[in-house]
Amino acid sequence: MTGDRPRFLPEASLRSRTSLKWSRALPGEIPADIAELDVEIAPVVHHALSAHLAGHDFGYPDYTGGTPRRLAELFAERAERKHGWRADPGRVDTCAQIVQALCCALLAFTRPGDAVVTHAPTYPPFLKAIRQLDRRCVTIPVRDLETLADLHDAGRARMVVLCQPHNPTGHVFGRRTLEVLGEFAESHDAVVFSDEIHQDLVHAPHRHLSAAAIPVLADRTIVFTSAAKTFNIAGLRCAVGHFGAKTLYERYTRLPWHLRSGAGLLGIAATIAAWDKGDAWADELRARLSRNRATVDAAVRAMPAVRWTPPPATYLAWLDLRRTCLSRRPADSLRDLAALRLQRGRDFGDDFTGFVRLNFGTSEETLSLILRRMTAAITAGEQPAARDGGAHPGLPRKR
């Protein structure tokens, strides 16, 4: 069906947007930093939102039943159908966004000064949430774990914060690694908070494995996800979470409702439409993103100084530029030299200054231009003409 084929938007349309990614870009700049897709929303989501518009239906959601209850049931159905684990709709909660849920979980299950373990590089809002709530962030590298000995530097923790699939690297943690994390959490009586917002953006042949599907993790895990990334509806503010044990759910929901709620009527409606009828569209999107990933890989292979591992999931490229001429300030240099906006590696932790995160969730044409500009900036810096002030034909003129 034509309606199931995602359509990436042309640059002129993108520049008229008011959302974060493109609204900040100066004329001539191409943003590839914020994790938004440059795509039209899925027709099923558009139809659901249009129905609310036609019916002037913008009031409060019925949190005592109605759509939130349907959303909880759909979440559970989908967890089993697509990801192979059983969720209890009676232990599902909704909120506006996953970082909000993490903040609530930190308040519910930890105290100031407690250690919270997470992977480095770390999604910046997670770092801020942990630190601003006066918890101690203990990081471990993103890699496969085989035994508890691999976590000897993690210290004593009250919570493990997992991003599965991982942002920014796109790594998908395997069963044994999740089991080791579960054994660690069990030995510390720690709660595991798993952000699985990228669960539907895993590239073949890899598969998503939820933390909730691991027996040693199941009873102590809180899983939150959202349609926001796959269906590009982050501005509609709706996230859904499941609590592996009744005690977790009861303790979390003792927090004030206005602190942990916030999913709006349109966000709930869009999420229901996306999860109920959007699978074909999402499958085609994932295929397009996989092709874009291959395009990035080909470009990186042509730049020996740039390192990366093609991500098993997401539309984010975590690029190591430490061996390039731009190693000291790569994101700033690429903005100055190539009019590209990439996310700074140091936002993900102090050890990642020489890295950048590049969003390849865009059209083939825009991605090609991004990669040409990046290649030109890196190769020009290695050439004598560039050091003498000469221009490189692949770079835009100075702003």
The DSSP code sequence of 309-338 is ---SBSSEEEEE-TTSTTTTSHHHHHHHHH
Q: Which two tokens stand for residue 294?
A: 């291959």
Instruction: Give the per-residue pLDDT at 66.
Output: 63
Instruction: Give the per-residue pLDDT at 144.
Output: 76
- Number of domains observed in the structure of the chain: 2
The verdict on residue 398 lying in a domain is: no
Instruction: Give the per-residue pLDDT at 143.
Output: 84
Q: List 115's β-bridge partners, or say none.
A: 136
Q: Which two tokens stand for residue 36?
A: 């938004």
CATH code of residue 96: 3.40.640.10
Which of 277, 292, 322 corresponds to the end of one domain?
277
52 and 180 in a common domain: yes
360 and 330 in a common domain: yes
On the CB side of 146, how many CA atoms lie within 13 Å of its CA? 0
176 and 63 in a common domain: yes
Q: Which two tokens stand for residue 332?
A: 């700033």
Instruction: Give the per-residue pLDDT at 217.
Output: 97
Range of the domain at 381: 2-39+279-387
The verdict on residue 118 lying in a domain is: yes
Distances (CA, A) of 8 to 12, 37, 49, 271, 360: 12, 8, 20, 20, 12
The verdict on residue 97 lying in a domain is: yes
The verdict on residue 394 lying in a domain is: no
Q: How many helices (H) and strands (E) does the chain have?
A: 15, 12
The verdict on residue 88 lying in a domain is: yes
267 and 286 in a common domain: no
Instruction: Give the per-residue pLDDT at 382.
Output: 64
On the CB side of 226, how many CA atoms lie within 13 Å of its CA? 23
Q: What percent of the chain has pLDDT over 90?
A: 87
228 and 147 in a common domain: yes
Mean pLDDT by 10 residues, the chain (399 residues): 78 92 95 98 98 95 80 96 95 97 98 95 97 95 79 81 98 95 94 99 97 97 98 97 98 96 95 97 98 98 96 98 95 97 97 98 97 95 47 49
Instruction: Give the per-residue pLDDT at 25.
Output: 94
Which of 231, 258, 277 corresponds to the end of one domain?
277
Q: How do 343-344 and 30-31 pair as beta strands?
A: unpaired
Instruction: Give the per-residue pLDDT at 391.
Output: 44
Instruction: Give the per-residue pLDDT at 392.
Output: 47
Instruction: Give the per-residue pLDDT at 288.
Output: 98
Contact present, 328 and 381 (Cβ < 8 Å): no
140 and 248 in a common domain: yes
In the sheet with 343-344, reading across from the earlier edge strand, the strands are 316-320, 355-359, 343-344
CATH code of residue 304: 3.90.1150.10
Q: List 358's β-bridge partners, or say none.
A: 317
33 and 75 in a common domain: no
List, in sequence order, every beta strand (DSSP E) within the chain. 30-31, 92-95, 115-120, 136-141, 159-163, 191-195, 221-225, 239-243, 316-320, 340-341, 343-344, 355-359
238 and 132 in a common domain: yes
Which of 218, 252, 277 corresponds to the end of one domain?
277
257 and 133 in a common domain: yes
247 and 153 in a common domain: yes
Instruction: Give the per-residue pLDDT at 150.
Output: 72
In the sheet with 115-120, reading across from the earlier edge strand, the strands are 92-95, 239-243, 221-225, 191-195, 159-163, 115-120, 136-141
298 and 339 in a common domain: yes
CA distance 162 to 204: 22
291 and 156 in a common domain: no
Please name which of 187, 190, 112, 120 lies closest in space to residue 152, comparing C-alpha atoms. 187
Instruction: Give the per-residue pLDDT at 381.
Output: 67
